Amino acid sequence: MDLDDPQPYRAPAWLPGGHLQTVYPLLIEPDDHPYRRERWETPDGDFIDLDWNAHVPPPAEPGADPATGPAPSSTSLRNPLLILFHGLEGSSGSPYARALMHALTAAGWGGGVVHFRGCSGEANRLPRAYHSGDSAEIDWVLRRVRAAHPGRPLYAVGVSLGGNVLLKWLGERGAEARTLVRAAAAVSVPFDLTASGHQLARGLNRLYTRHFLATLKPRSLAKLRRFPGLFDERRLQRATTLHDFDNAVTAPLHGFANADDYWQRASSKPWLRTIEVPTLLVNARNDPFLPAQALPGADEVAPAVRLDFSAEGGHVGFVSGDWPGHLDWLPRRLMHFLRHAP
């Protein structure tokens, strides 16, 4: 794949507006990309599933001790390895994930999609789920990947919710994060969860909230059946906004006082000043999930952070080319930055 830096993003004339630019990628026929699934047991007795591309071979010893991680891959593999953290209710089947993994495979890079708990098609074992501030999970995953692939340049990318968690981890760890990842990128990040949550409760944006709740609510109800008394079922049933849902489910499950407390403590924006890993932020100013005024300015980020905020692109859209369009721009932008990061 050509890793030359693409031109600054410009939306096709045939695809105007943030809503169309957000939704249209769902209609693009994805490249057929095979994955190899690997299940990792977590220290607390749960599991996460990772989907790897063809350039990440299985562990040399399938019975590797879960406490120490999978056996190291062949030391002959020195090509880059990129770990992707998906967005809210996303997976390795999300259009952006498939496009990025296809590009990585074509370029000879290793790639893996980390499924947050309960997002791989099977309910997780514990009452807890996943949330926008769970940087401890990011830390555990990246340390295990680093130990399993010590000879490969390691990069991390997060999208939307996954981007928020990754940035929070980068800011919390500061210089220490450079011992694990060489560079990072985050796409369509809701840096300010309060601003984003209120934005998704307005006008047409409520359709996105309805889309998320269509899977979040049934999944949470199924969890409540397994763990009676975990949270208030009536509050969940009445939830029509993400604020309602986070008040009813996310906050009590993960130790937050309420949705407002969760949004404040989990937002990545306050952590951008302490990031020391070279990091690219890619957001569109017409993203329906976040008002443009909530985007960080140059004075709100560390010197290691580069801002790429295009006028258009929607939420994880960035469609380019003539009709019917393609999703090549974003993988090229990310891979070029990561490859050439200082």
Burial class of residue 7 (count of CB atoms within 10 Å of its CB; 0-12, 13-18, 19+): exposed
Q: How far apart are CA 158 and CA 165, in angstroms?
A: 8
| pLDDT tens digits, one per residue of 304-313 | 999 999 999 9
Residue 209's identity, in one-letter code, is T
Domain membership of residue 199 as a residue range: 194-266
pTM (two decimals): 0.93
Residues 278 and 261 in one domain: no
Residue 198 counted as domain residue: yes
Active site annotation includes 287:
yes
Q: What confidence score (pLDDT) does residue 66 get? A: 46
Among 238, 253, 84, smallest CA distance to 166 is for: 84
Question: With contact defined as beta carbons under 8 Å apart, do 249 and 231 qualify?
Answer: yes
Residues 298 and 224 in one domain: no
Residues 227 and 134 in one domain: no
Catalytic residue among 287, 310, 320, 328: 287
Please identify, among 266, 287, 318, the residue that sits at the C-terminal boundary of a domain: 266
Give the CB-side neighbour count of residue 174, counting CA atoms within 13 A. Answer: 3
Active site annotation includes 91:
no
The helix or strand, by DSSP H or E, that contains position 23, with its residue range, turns out to be: helix 18-23
Residues 116 and 260 in one domain: no
Q: How far apart are CA 238 and CA 142, in angstroms?
A: 37
Catalytic residue among 188, 268, 315, 320: 315
Give buried/exposed letters for 165-204 (b at 16+ CB in 10 A, else e): bbbbbbbbbeeebeebbbbbbbbbbbbbbbbbbbbbeeee
Compute the average pLDDT of residues 200-213: 97
Q: What confidence score (pLDDT) does residue 65 get? A: 54
Number of domains in the chain: 2
Among 284, 324, 233, 290, smallest CA distance to 29 is for: 324
Active site annotation includes 220:
no
| pLDDT tens digits, one per residue of 135-190 | 999 999 999 999 999 989 999 999 999 999 999 999 999 999 999 999 999 999 99
Residue 121 counted as domain residue: yes
Residues 188 and 206 in one domain: no
Residues 106 and 30 in one domain: yes
Catalytic residue among 94, 120, 160, 268: 160
Residue 24 counted as domain residue: yes
